[in-house]
Amino acid sequence: MAGYRARMPARPTVVSDDGFMRVTQWDFAPGAETGHHVHGLSYIVVPMTDCRFRIEDGGGAREFDVAKGAVYRREAGVEHNVVNAGDAPMCFIEIELK
């Protein structure tokens, strides 16, 4: 397919997992992706670097910047693929609430 560039997977590292929450550090090389997934739990994201996100979902694709430390949350049921659309590695912490 012309213009298609294979993407490498982002690297998840579970930092903590107990009865209350699961904490995962996500590390992305430029162009890396999570792969399409559905969040079964509500979650909080804490960017550890400045992030240039590309979100691919049922509504298409969009890119936006989130500054290091700019915490945000989403409810369970979010369905998407997250891609590092920037030129530098990016990292965020995801805290899923059980």
Q: What b/e string do you get for 75-93 counting C-beta neighbours within 10 Å, with b at 16 or more?
A: eeeeebebbbbbeeebbbb
Q: Which domain holds residue 41?
A: 11-97
- Is 2 a member of any domain? no
Q: Helix (H, G, I), strand (E, B), or coil: what is residue 78? A: coil
Q: How many domains does the chain have?
A: 1
- Is 66 a member of any domain? yes
> What is the DSSP secondary-structure string of 1-44?
-TT----PBPEEEEEEE-SSEEEEEEEE-TT-B--SEE-SSEEE
Does 5 have pLDDT greater than 60? no
Is this prediction's pTM over 0.75?
yes
Q: How would you classify the pairing of strands 60-66 and 42-47? A: unpaired
Please give the biggest Cα pair distance in the chain: 46
pLDDT, tens digit, for every residue of 8-26? 999 999 999 999 999 999 9
- Is 5 a member of any domain? no
Does 75 have pLDDT greater than 80? yes
- Is 68 a member of any domain? yes
- Is 4 a member of any domain? no
- Is 28 a member of any domain? yes
CATH number at residue 74: 2.60.120.10
